[in-house]
Amino acid sequence: MTKSTPKPGQQLLHLVFGGELDDVKSVTFKDLHKLDVVGFYPNYAEAHQAWLAKARETLDNAQMRYFIVHLHRLLDPSTQKAD
């Protein structure tokens, strides 16, 4: 998969969040009230850095998972191919 480079000044909003899963084979969280919203980022590169840092912090907990959500794809479907 190739990633497109955003145009200068283009904001491609991403959300990084995570939490403890019921089962590592699914994406069902144990407690939605305990979700960890790491933050919102203007591009994939910054979101990936934040995701990686949180994933490394929680490496000892196999049930803990963090995700990157491409919010720009939900807000503007024309950005489907851009990251």
Q: What is the pLDDT of residues 43-54, one digit of tens each?
A: 999 999 999 999
Q: Which of 24, 18, 12, 31 is nearest to 67 (CA)?
A: 18
Q: What does the pLDDT read at residue 44?
A: 95
Which ranges constitute the DSSP H helices of the chain? 44-57, 71-75
Which domains does the chain show, CATH number per domain?
Answer: 14-79 (3.30.70.2400)
What parts of the chain have a pLDDT lower than 50? 1-2
Q: Round to whole Å and give the CA distance between 22 and 24.
A: 7
> Is 14:71 a contact under the CB 8 Å cutoff?
yes
